[in-house]
Chain A
Amino acid sequence: DTGVSQDPRHKITKRGQNVTFRCDPISEHNRLYWYRQTLGQGPEFLTYFQNEAQLEKSRLLSDRFSAERPKGSFSTLEIQRTEQGDSAMYLCASSLEGTDGYTFGSGTRLTVV
């Protein structure tokens, strides 16, 4: 297992376009998290899954954002009708229920022009 993988690493898109990011967690980890980090700030929680169930969503996650984890393995985060304010690093992390250890991916840097 090579850790948490995120794809793509970088994405430049025009305002109004839809984008989708993918996260592949560590295979034994049943919890998967999405965080967003803007320049100079710490990451902020967006949502998390336990297996395929989305257990918590931040109020930061507007109606334009949707996340799925259909088979309890990889997850996708989709942003519809992107806005310039969506420009950020989108980080994925995974953990195993009952443990405190977290493993982060390298992130997807989104630039909306």
Chain B
Amino acid sequence: KNEVEQSPQNLTAQEGEFITINCSYSVGISALHWLQQHPGGGIVSLFMLSSGKKKHGRLIATINIQEKHSSLHITASHPRDSAVYICAVRGSGSRLTFGEGTQLTVNP
């Protein structure tokens, strides 16, 4: 079992739908990151969380430390949101441990 599990692996939505991507982890963490990766490879950091909830535009990220679970929500999804979304956790060290990513496709 991977230390970081994401679900679903693939998600197809229609423009305007509310989207949720889930991340569960099995280790103690100091921070959790949600990342976005477009074709071509570059990774953009969306959120860094250690507790509670953060919001940026149409994106919302929540984390429940006790349950070792985080969710990324996208409201009013748009085709330009199509990308791979990756959850990554930082434990006691400096490195990140990544989930396998969720491929999101938003159709017009």
Using a CB–CB cutoff of 8 Å, the interface residues on chain A facing chain B are 31, 33, 35, 37, 40-45, 48, 50, 55-56, 89, 91, 93, 95, 100-107, 109
Contacts and interface: CB of A to CB of B under 8 A. Distances in A.
B98 interface: yes
Contacts of B93: 56
A106 B50 contact: no
Interface stretch (B37-45, B54-62, B68-76): B37-45
Contact of A107 (B30, B41, B100): B41
A104 B42 contact: yes
- Interface range, B side: 20 to 34
Interface in B56-105: 86, 88, 90, 93-101
Given A42-B86, A100-B31, A107 B42 contact: yes
Interface of B: 4, 30-31, 33, 35, 40-45, 48, 50, 86, 88, 90, 93-101
Nearest to B99: A42
A40 B30 CA distance: 26
Given A56-B93, A100-B50, A42 B98 contact: yes
Given A106-B42, A109-B41, A45 B86 contact: no
B43 A104 contact: yes
A40 B103 CA distance: 9
Nearest to B100: A42
B98 A104 contact: no
Given A42-B99, A42-B100, A103 B45 contact: yes
